[in-house]
Each structure stands twice: as C-alpha cells, then as structure tokens.
Chain A
C-alpha cells in the first residue's frame, strides 16, 4: 500500500485542491502561491528523504490545508492591515482528510466556501475585453480564418492578466490540439500512401 505512486498522488491531489481553493486570488498571486508550496514540498522531500505515503501525509499536515493557506492569503491583504475589525469566530477548517483511494478528493466548491469570518472573497471576473477577444478569435476565428485566428488569439490569451497559467495552458491545448492531430494524421497518411 505504501508505494511511491500513492505518495505522488497525495501531492497531486493536494496541489489540485490548492489550485481550486486559490481561484479567487489574482492569477499572478495564485501562481506565486502554488510555486511556493510546490517548491516547499519538493525541498522538504529532498531534505528529509520523504518517499512513502505516511511521511508525505505528515509533510502536508504540517503545511496546513489548502483552504487554510488560501484563507491566510485573503486575510493578509484585507486593508488596512491590523485595523479592520475581525470576526471573533475562529475559522473552522477541516483537517487534511485522508484521500479515499484513487481519484481526486478536492471539493469543487472549496473556492466559494471559505470559512466564515474572512469577509467576502474578492473574485475577479476572468472575462475582460482581452479574454473575450481571445476566445472569439480562437473559436470562431479558428474556423473562419484557420491559421490567422489562432495565431492572433493565442498571444492575446497569453497577454491576459486575469487568467492563470493553467487557464492559458487549457486555451493553448484547445486551440492547437486539433491542428496537431490534423498534422499527425496527414503525416501518417503520407507514410501509409
């Protein structure tokens, strides 16, 4: 049961949960937070020689739940710092749950249900003019002007300050995936012929 694979999966599930929970943060801060935690986990595993599931679980317990970390991030920028009246109720955050075997255990609603007392979550809309233009160019433009639409749309998507790196990655795969498949298909057909 104590396989390296299970340990990797624990880390992946944890980082996925963190990514979900951090959806309300500005994308650059979300990326920054994920980079920091990912680096911490890698460094801790290298330093302590952590490979098995139990040790990884301890490591993640010490980090705190993704929701706790994101709550700290929201709390940290509630201006003016230290002056705002705070809710006296301590945040009730569930301890890191044991992932039930395979499959993601991250609660999809985690981003919307931050513990009480942290105030409204400043959720920036991911849709600005730039993002709409990028999606229209990638979707419609890709059909009407197959090459130009994609070539213009993708840089637009990557210029977005509202989308995180993951969002941009999804846009790139969706836009370029069919083209790559088509090219592979043509190449294969050429080889067969």
Chain B
C-alpha cells in the first residue's frame, strides 16, 4: 500500500536511522521510489545527519585517564560502603521477618521505628536505588 500523502519528516528520519518496523520501512522505500520530492527531502536529511556525525567529538584522552584513575582510587571504598549497606539491609530484613510479634520485634521497633520495620517486613528497601 502506498501513502496518498507524503510521509512526514519524522517518518523519513525514522526510515533513515532504521527506527521503523519492516512493514513501515518497506512502505517508505516504495514511496521514495516514486516520489522525487521525498527523495530530495530524504537526501537533505541524510546529508545533515552525516555532517553532524562527522563532527562527532572525540573523548579527550587525558580526561578519560584522569577519571579512570579517580574511579580506581575510589572503587574499594565505594564498593565496601555499598556492600555494608546491602548486608545491613539483608540482616535487618531477616531479623525483622523472624521477629514479628515477639520480644525481638518490640526491641527492633523501639530502635528503628515502626515505619522502618514495616518497610523491611514488606521487603522494601527504605533507601532509593539511585
């Protein structure tokens, strides 16, 4: 099936960048084979894309090296802190799940607060993931 109207710019660009499904890609291709105006439009978009991407920046080597060194230095401490947080959450969840209604549960609630205990019991992590 052919379009009666010309495909809009968004569709031509999706065609050029491979973001259409096979059927839509095929329809645009067939339209282009019969429409000089859209072929010209497509060629202009293609050129604009190529010019832009030809000016793609290079990641400066010295910047990459500086960040790599900083991450290398910070890695053990960051990993250790995150591991401790995670383990505390695991241990907390286990203690709380085993203490529902008993004396340990009462003690935990007095330390952590009812809301925090309920969050752990429901399997929720009170810390946002990021």
Tell me if chain B binds chain A: no
A contacts, CB < 8 Å to B: none
